Structure 1
């Protein structure tokens, strides 16, 4: 009974994410076909809400791994979820002027590709055995796409810095001492942390790829 509930939940979660990201991808492609490069400026307005929902739902994946209902490395998944949600809500959502920037379209496209590599494979693993091509795409193509995605995240944050020039927030250390922090400095300090965390994540992804492909090759030899 517990196994069936777990299976039904994972099926529903992966199906929701797959449906949401497929809708985003189809919407973006249709707008690009009809409006060309002019569609980039309206990317956030057309798919931003669904993207926010999908990225918020991705936080559940951390609990999936921590609780053991899904296999995976917790740290790389945590880094990916954190970096996307920080960029999405701190920069894209909070800075309305930046939402028409072409980098939003580029970033959404890369995130979408990564998600569409993951969730169809997840669905196949739950209902049947994925093919070799699906397995290879899931664990190989995502690595270069992820690297490019992190680079564009850094570019997006750098381009967004001028929009935060008036941003100050205070930190209460000990009454009545109050320290004011210049928010662009926080974003600039985040960039090397992003690079370091992404490097460790890529190492984990390469290790996971080797494990998955080795496991697949052993199954083929047994047959």
Structure 2
């Protein structure tokens, strides 16, 4: 199982590192012009990495992952909804600057998070990386949630115009599903989920700092 987890975290690190490096290089070479085709350049790899992250929920259920289930469920679900439902389904959204910004924030944390988990599985502690993993999320995670909210807000006119995922079904009684209403309801849930996840991450950071300070006092 140790070998499997090591391979999984290494695979995720390689995928997210490729995305982050590609985005950074394109931004340096092409500037703002790189925003328009960010999704077309890295979208497939991003989709693969986010789909693979579903396995982290399975790891927890099988007892080989140490994180609580609900915070991880929220983190995985929010990204899948934004990436596949909001961005992928609306071609007009894929060239927006906010998509580039959002992908950058997601990968900025992931290129630190996955190698930190990999070293933990291997029984190796690199203090600077571990500290960064428990600290970088403080600015990055709330910013990514704001970017997700803005992405959903930007997508609403397209869902309203094209009627994507909106249906009128004739059953024994008429049922109408207007997807923009569902997205607006989803927007109200994001802040609550963020507060819950941040509370968990703060608890993890507090425990990490307590253990680290205890070790330093013993030296």
- TM-score w.r.t. the length of structure 2 is 0.94
* Structure 1 unaligned blocks of 5 or more: 1-5
Match of 2:112 in 1: 117
Matched, 1:141 2:136: yes
Q: Secondary structure at the match of 2:125?
A: coil
Which among 180, 190, 214 is matched to residue 218 of structure 1?
Answer: 214
Q: Which deviates the most, 41-50 or 64-73? A: 64-73
**Residues 92, 98 of structure 1: 8 Å contact kept:** yes
Matched, 1:87 2:82: yes
Question: Residues 170 and 196 of structure 1: is their aligned pair in 2 closer, same or farther, counting only changes over 3 Å?
Answer: farther
Match of 2:45 in 1: 50
* Structure 2 unaligned blocks of 5 or more: none
Match of 2:61 in 1: 66
Render the CA deviation track for 1:89-138: whole Å, top value 9, x for unaligned: 00111101110000110010000012112111011112243232212110
Give the superposition deviation at 1:171: 5.8
Question: Residues 68 and 215 of structure 1: is their aligned pair in 2 closer, same or farther, counting only changes over 3 Å?
Answer: farther
Which among 8, 12, 24 is matched to residue 7 of structure 2?
Answer: 12
Matched, 1:169 2:167: yes
Q: Secondary structure at the match of 2:36?
A: helix
Give the superposition deviation at 1:222: 4.0
Match of 2:99 in 1: 104
Question: C-alpha separation between the residues in 2 aligned to 1:214 and 1:74?
Answer: 23
Match of 1:126 in 2: 121
Give the superposition deviation at 1:178: 2.2
Question: C-alpha separation between the residues in 2 aligned to 1:50 and 1:126?
Answer: 24
RMSD between aligned residues:
1.4
**Residues 117, 142 of structure 1: 8 Å contact kept:** no
- TM-score w.r.t. the length of structure 1 is 0.92
Q: Secondary structure at the match of 1:161?
A: helix
Render the CA deviation track for 1:38-70: whole Å, top value 9, x for unaligned: 001110000000000000000000111122112
Question: C-alpha separation between the residues in 1 aligned to 2:111 and 2:209?
Answer: 20
